[in-house]
Amino acid sequence: MNDFQKENNNDDWKDALRSALIAGITGGPSEAERVYSQIGYYYLCSAPAFLYKYYSNTILNFETVKANKMWYSAPCNFNDVFDCDISIDEKEMFNDVLEMLPDKRQIRPGSPAWRELRETMRQQLKVLGSTFGAFRETTGISCLSESDESLLMWAHYANNHCGMCVEYDLLEISKQLGFTPVPIIYSDDRVCFRSLQIETIEKDSLNIFIQSITTKSSEWSYEREWRIIREKEVCGDKWNTDKKGALLEMIRPSSVILGCEAKRDFEKAVKEYCEANKINLYKMEKDKTLYHLNKHVILEFNF
């Protein structure tokens, strides 16, 4: 098996893709140009062709999809208390500060100079913590999935299978909107800020924050999540300060999948929309022998 096949049989490429994105965002123009060719490779050769957004069967959700829009919510609204939350290793960072003293001078633990230095560092960390807290309230994120058949997500996000799952073409998202969806990395370890280098603290902080919004606990791995991230400044006057989020443009769906428990009125409305816009429409059905959902064709168009 060659290296390309090995890479595509696991999710290591997602780590490489995220690393390239971080390098492009935190580096200079020349670095950004270099890494975006790598990003194109992963999008074309490793990533799934489509991403999916689960919706409950509300009028607001349906109107949002029909208008080719998508809601971006700040992480402070999310249901995972660890989502986008950053741990700070105060002890390790203080050791970094001690290493930066001129001529490697030694300070006896507990001495007045040691205590003053530690207090100064703690004040800086409070400022850093406030910065991360502000990021969690002023960054819009929309969450999608690689899967359209997750029983848990149909239950949790599509009103117990009564809602719908909307399919979007990954390359078209990037091409038409200039958005770069990022895959989530699942881990048992929290994202932690361990180093404090004054000359690179701004770049390091941004790096750590991007890692935090693209890393989740392994317990959420069934979601196979991707995220599109928009800063408040990019959203401009579309940012809703009260709701901490923004309703932004999205591409036209490739298809819509109804839940297996979708009610007749909702199914009728979705069918009329799909028929008028020549969008493929499917409905999930319960498998007769397995705990699995099968897609049944309602409308299918040749493009």
Q: Which residue has the higher pLDDT, 4 or 241?
A: 241
C-alpha 254/C-alpha 144 separation (Å) is 14
Mean pLDDT of the region 59-69: 97
Mean pLDDT of the region 149-168: 97
3-state SS class at 175: helix
The identity of residue 149, as a single letter, is E
Residue 7 has pLDDT above 70, yes or no: no
User: Strand 255-258 relative to strand 164-169: parallel, antiparallel, unpaired?
Assistant: antiparallel
Query: Angle 253-256-258 (CA atoms, 0-180°, nearest 5)?
Result: 160
**Mean pLDDT (the chain, rounded):** 88
CA 205 to centroid of chain Cα atoms: 18
- Which two three-digit tokens encode residue 209? 């924050």
Task: Answer yes or no: are the C-beta atoms of 164 and 211 closer than 8 Å.
Answer: no
Mean pLDDT of the region 142-150: 97
- Which two three-digit tokens encode residue 141? 């994120």
Report the pLDDT value the prediction gives residue 198, as an integer from 0 to 100.
63
Band of pLDDT at residue 193, cut at 50, 70 and 90: confident
- Which two three-digit tokens encode residue 28? 């200079």
Sign for the pseudo-dihedral over CA of 60, 63, 64, 65: positive
